[in-house]
Amino acid sequence: MSHFSQIKTQLRNLASLETALTDLGIDWKPGPCPVRGYRGQSINAEIAIEQENGYDIGFRWNGNEYELVADLQYWQQPITVDRFLNKITQRYAFQTVLSETAKQGFQVAEQQKNEDGSIRLVVQRWRG
């Protein structure tokens, strides 16, 4: 019996996910690589985050999105799973906006982190 939990996300762009994890200072390994779980079980994922206790966190493509996979009984992060995913999702959205606006010729004119944790971005494009 598998102890792995799969948590749905809205993360669909691997490059933005990788950049978001790096921005947050999270060490990760690119896949496909095994995510270690209970009693030596493993599951392959596109991203693996090793924990000191020998149980990993991963992000695996399920055909729709990169879901978080982990044995939650052995979660060893300083914040809850929900908070962890919220931080990653916010940074992912930020990276996605930067990437998509850059493709359209925009540049960041102003960036501000608000007290509530939200990020305000002002982008501009010069036309010649």
pLDDT one-digit tens code per residue, 5-58: 999 999 999 999 999 999 999 999 998 999 999 888 999 999 999 999 999 999
Top mean pLDDT of 55-64, 98-107, 117-126 is at 55-64
AA letter at 70 = A
- Sequence-distant (6+) residues with CB within 8 A of 94 are 20, 119, 121
Q: Do 93 and 99 contact (CB within 8 A), yes or no? A: no
pLDDT one-digit tens code per residue, 12-22: 999 999 999 99
